Amino acid sequence: MYDLVALGELLIDFTYYGKSEHGGALFEQNPGGAPANVLAMAAGLGLSTAFIGKVGADMHGDFLRQVLIERGIDTRGLISAVDVFTTLAFVKLDGAQRSFSFARKPGADTTLSMTEVDFDIVKSSKIFHFGSLSLTDEPSRSATLKAVEVAKAAGAVISYDPNYRAGLWKNVEEAVHHMRSVTHLADIIKISDEETELLTGKSDPQAAAQVLLEQGATCIIVTLGADGALAATRDGSIQKTPPKCVPKDTTGAGDVFLGSFLYRLLGSRKPIGKHDLNEIESYVDFANAAASLCVEKRGAMPSMPDISTIYTRLGGIHS
Catalytic residue among 109, 249, 255, 285: 255
Q: Where are the beta strands (DSSP E) in the chain?
A: 2-7, 11-19, 25-32, 49-56, 73-81, 88-94, 97-103, 125-131, 157-161, 188-192, 219-223, 229-233, 236-240
Buried b (16+ CB within 10 A) or exposed e, 305-315: beeeebbebbe
Phi and psi at residue 303, to the nearest 5°: -100, 0
| List of E strands, 193-304 | 219-223, 229-233, 236-240
255 is catalytic: yes
DSSP class of residue 232 equals: E
Name residue 156's amino acid: A
Other CB atoms closer than 10 Å to residue 101's CB: what's the count? 12
What residues are annotated to the active site?
255
